[in-house]
Amino acid sequence: MNGVTILIVDDEPAIRHLLRASLTRAGYRTVEAGDARAALAALGIDRPAAVLLDLGLPDRDGLELIPLIKPAAAVLVISARGATADKVNALDLGADDYITKPFDSEEVLARIRTALRHRLGAEAGAVVQMGDVAIDLAARRITRAGAEVHLAPKEYALLAALARHPGRVITHAQLLREVWGAGHEHDIEYLRVAARGIRKKLEDDPARPVLLRNEPGVGYRLMG
């Protein structure tokens, strides 16, 4: 990942130091900011590919920064706020992922790699490969180990919504709006039924899903 810049936004020097050490060992270039003002300045000057964003900044709530950062870089929130509502708010605002402090450095690196694969490699109409499952969004065709798999319309729509953002958690409300339309944002059972159908057709063991993962109380993500 040489040449890829990661912006660390946190008002705690110890956290910045820990993240900087892990990222540097992994081959990333790092830039740091201790508040929102410095973060937005670094975003324009250093042009990072991803931002590790704390929400508890001294001059501004980090949630307010997500829509400002998102057009320019992947956003991974790293916060002590562990409430489901905070996670949902951050993801609905466009965050690619949400990691709760205290965190494991190796997990942070894995989440960064996933976000960057999507951010740097996504192309409209590309085939999304997740393990032995291939999702051709342009052709609306799903194959598993080379064999075509037929999904029900809502199953396909749900899988496609997740495949457009591989590795990213998409909230229940976002998926329900996109697949079932406005007015169905609280019909979680619709999601559960469609997810069960997808898992039966694409997972080796639907009871222990590897491809379509549930984030309890928050949403779903598609894993490779």
Mean pLDDT across 11-36: 95
Q: Are residues 115 and 131 in the same domain?
A: no
Q: Are residues 71 and 139 in the same domain?
A: no
Boundary (domain end) residue, out of 81, 100, 121: 121
Boundary (domain end) residue, out of 121, 143, 171: 121
pLDDT band per the 50, 70, 90 thresholds, residue 2: low
Q: Are residues 157 and 94 in the same domain?
A: no
Domain of residue 179, residue span: 127-222
Q: Are residues 106 and 164 in the same domain?
A: no
Q: What is the pLDDT of residue 167?
A: 86
Q: Are residues 63 and 135 in the same domain?
A: no
Question: How many structural domains is the chain composed of?
Answer: 2
Q: Are residues 101 and 175 in the same domain?
A: no
Mean pLDDT across 157-175: 89
120-155: b or e for each residue (b if 16 or more CB lie within 10 Å)? eeeeeeeebebeebbbebeeeebebeeeebebeebb
Q: What is the pLDDT of residue 125?
A: 52
Q: What is the H or E stretch that residue 14 is in?
A: helix 13-25
CATH of the domain at 184: 1.10.10.10
Q: Are residues 115 and 189 in the same domain?
A: no
List the structure tokens of 125: 């109409």
Threshold 0.75, pTM exceeds: no
Mean pLDDT across 116-141: 75
Q: Are residues 85 and 136 in the same domain?
A: no
d(CA 215, CA 50): 22
CATH of the domain at 79: 3.40.50.2300
d(CA 24, CA 18): 10
Q: Are residues 31 and 46 in the same domain?
A: yes
